[in-house]
Structure 1
Amino acid sequence: MKRTLNLYALTWRLPIIFWQLLFFVGPLLFMVAISFFVVKNYRMTEAFELVNWQKMLSRNYFWDSYWYTLFIAALSASVAMLLAFPAAYALAFRASEGLRRWAIFLLIIPFFTSYLVRTFAWYVILAESGVLNAMLGYIGLGPFRMLNTSFGTIVGYLTLTLPLVVILQTVSMANIDRTLVEAARNLGCRPLATIWRVVLPLSKTGLIVAALFCFILSFGDFVAPFYLGGSQEPTLPILILDTTKSGQQWPRAAVVAIVMMLTLFVTAFAAIALAYRKGSGAR
């Protein structure tokens, strides 16, 4: 009976296993293999040499791009979490069930359109003669340079991630037992203290997962730093593009991609371990 149940479970798991092997593990192994190839006369040649790893990991521009990408992705995740929390808290604890459903639906609508189109729309808003500078001009401020800066990159990242972060935070906090929040208030806990001692610990898993999604999407995004950031400080995705254009150096671009994936794997495992670590709970 036990053997039959195992075979039955394996049968239902086979499609996802096959999918992961075909579209994730296979391409990943191929990319790792390519990183050891060499380029001669603009053509890749099968080999097993460490020259691509040595050249990329010994270059200052690679590490400059790496630390800048890590920093701006972490900054984007922090800003998104801070901006999303008040809205998510209001939807979770102040809004009715019907209003919350409509709000989540409206937050999903931006994903119906192309991210590239939404990014280009910011040109009209962030340009020196754009909408935002025109509004600031009425109060005697500006014009400010917002395009082709790190600020523009952050705006692009938030365009991609902020609705998702609000949704994840809302769902996480909406599942908190209301009696615990009410008990804290009845015991004299002030609103900010209730959030710090009750709401945040009980929604820790969802909040960390939301921050992780934001970091991953920002870390690997090419559109925002290229079109809104102007590639002034190239991120790793832009470095991949520049590397492939420089003598068809796909093996060196594969090195950059592998370093990115390793960074994301380490970050994801650390975040998940933190999210599901058992603590003392609300106090």
Structure 2
Amino acid sequence: MSEPLPTPDTGTAPFTATSRRATAARFAMFWGAPPALWQAAFFLVPLGFLVAMTFWSVKSFRLTPDATLANWTFILNAGFFRNAYVYTFWLSALTAVIASVAAFPAAYTLAYKVSPATRRFMIFMLVVPFFTSYPVRIYSTQIFFSPQGIINTVLAPLGLGPLQVLNTPTGTVVGYLVLTLPLVVLLQTFALANVPRTLIEAAHNLGCGRFRTIGTVIIPSARIGLIVAGTFAFVLAFGDYVAPTYLGGSRPPTLSILIADQVKSGNNWPRASVVAVMMIVTLMVVMLVMIGLAYGRRKERP
């Protein structure tokens, strides 16, 4: 009985795998094209125009396409820009730290100490402030901290106060916290809730107390979410215009106020564009550094 002839290898399996990869690539390109086009049309193109405008000049209060470095030289060498940059960076970093520290007990309670129904209700309540316009919330904060406001009215019979919060850096930080704190609590809650409970139970079984478990297990396991939450607070505060204007009194000015001042004084859009580009570059550097801290590998102990 003769043996059957071997079937020639037609390469069907490799072709099938290649075909699947090509199909997956086309599928990804199809669904990824709309967001990419949106980002290109409403972020990359305006950003390119903004960068180009930094090299323009203003002649007789009119923008003139040019190729000059005078705007960069003026802004980077100006003392008011350096002061505003340091002031804005410092207040934003301070806001990120305060929001992260203040939000952690609330996020820890929501993640581990309340029932699922209570957690859902409290998360909904944290989302509710975003239903209201941010300027409206800032105006309501003015009512609380004004010289004849609610807080000073309550403190007066106790012999305390009056508290001077408006038109100070403290007022600016309060406004930043109004903007960022609910979001930081939400992000921290989601990060802590995703920590495996088995790790926490193992730490308790090994004799770790509550605070040691938080410091050695929970915080390292939720590191990415905690850092991302603080980064969001910094980004939102760094570019905010409303809080330093209506609660901080615009003095000293932040970078966002400086942009408005440059536009108002002689219609100098190119100098304002330089400030805006410096803000964007700063935020990109900060985000890259924080992402590196969040996703970077921890050094293994010997």
Instruction: In structure 2, give the amino acid aligned to 1:246.
Output: S
**Aligned residue number for residue 275 of structure 1:** 294
Task: Find the partner of 1:84 among 103, 108, 111.
Answer: 103
SS of the residue 2:270 aligns to = helix
Contact 1:244 1:250 in 2 (8 A): yes
SS of the residue 2:266 aligns to = coil
| 1:161 corresponds to 2:177 | no
Instruction: In structure 2, give the amino acid aligned to 1:226.
Output: T
**Aligned residue number for residue 85 of structure 2:** 66
Task: Find the partner of 1:177 among 176, 196, 209.
Answer: 196
Q: How far off its partner does 1:117 sit?
A: 0.3
**Aligned residue number for residue 145 of structure 1:** 164
**Aligned residue number for residue 54 of structure 1:** 73
1:48-79 per-position Cα deviation (integer Å, ceiling 9, x unaligned)? 10000000000000000000000000000111
Q: How far off its partner does 1:4 sit?
A: 3.4
Contact 1:231 1:238 in 2 (8 A): yes
SS of the residue 1:189 aligns to = coil
Q: How far off its partner does 1:281 sit?
A: 8.9
| 1:225 corresponds to 2:244 | yes
**Aligned residue number for residue 130 of structure 1:** 149
1:245-283 per-position Cα deviation (integer Å, ceiling 9, x unaligned)? 01000000000000000000000011111101122699x
Q: How far off its partner does 1:127 sit?
A: 0.8
**Aligned residue number for residue 43 of structure 1:** 62
Instruction: In structure 1, give the amino acid aligned to 2:34.
Output: P
SS of the residue 1:138 aligns to = helix
| 1:20 corresponds to 2:67 | no
Q: How far off its partner does 1:140 sit?
A: 1.3
Contact 1:185 1:194 in 2 (8 A): yes
Instruction: In structure 2, give the amino acid aligned to 1:233.
Output: P
Structure 1 residue ranges, 4+ long, deviating more than 6 angstroms after superposition: none
Tell me the distance in 2 between the aligned counterparts of 1:123 and 1:164.
21
Tell me the distance in 1 between the aligned counterparts of 2:261 and 2:300.
48
Tell me the distance in 1 between the aligned counterparts of 2:71 and 2:51.
11
Tell me the distance in 1 between the aligned counterparts of 2:89 and 2:107.
26
Contact 1:225 1:231 in 2 (8 A): yes
Task: Find the partner of 2:234 among 215, 226, 232.
Answer: 215
Tell me the distance in 2 between the aligned counterparts of 1:20 and 1:232.
35
Q: Which stretch of the first structure deviates more once superposed, 61-70 or 140-149?
A: 140-149
**RMSD (Å), alpha carbons:** 1.3
Tell me the distance in 2 between the aligned counterparts of 1:88 and 1:279.
25
Tell me the distance in 1 between the aligned counterparts of 2:300 and 2:121.
31
Contact 1:201 1:281 in 2 (8 A): no
Q: How far off its partner does 1:97 sit?
A: 1.3
| 1:234 corresponds to 2:250 | no
SS of the residue 2:158 aligns to = coil
Q: Which of the pair has more CA radius of gyration? A: 2
**Structure 1 residue runs without a partner (length 5+):** none
| 1:98 corresponds to 2:113 | no
SS of the residue 1:165 aligns to = helix
1:130-150 per-position Cα deviation (integer Å, ceiling 9, x unaligned)? 111122223211112110011
Contact 1:202 1:281 in 2 (8 A): no
Tell me the distance in 2 between the aligned counterparts of 1:99 and 1:281.
39
**Aligned residue number for residue 113 of structure 1:** 132
**Structure 2 residue runs without a partner (length 5+):** 1-18
Task: Find the partner of 2:270 among 235, 247, 251.
Answer: 251
Q: How far off its partner does 1:179 sit?
A: 1.9
Q: How far off its partner does 1:3 sit?
A: 3.0
1:87-125 per-position Cα deviation (integer Å, ceiling 9, x unaligned)? 000000101111111111110000000000000001110
1:176-207 per-position Cα deviation (integer Å, ceiling 9, x unaligned)? 11121122122221221111101110000000
How many residue pairs match? The answer is 282
Instruction: In structure 1, give the amino acid aligned to 2:171.
Output: G
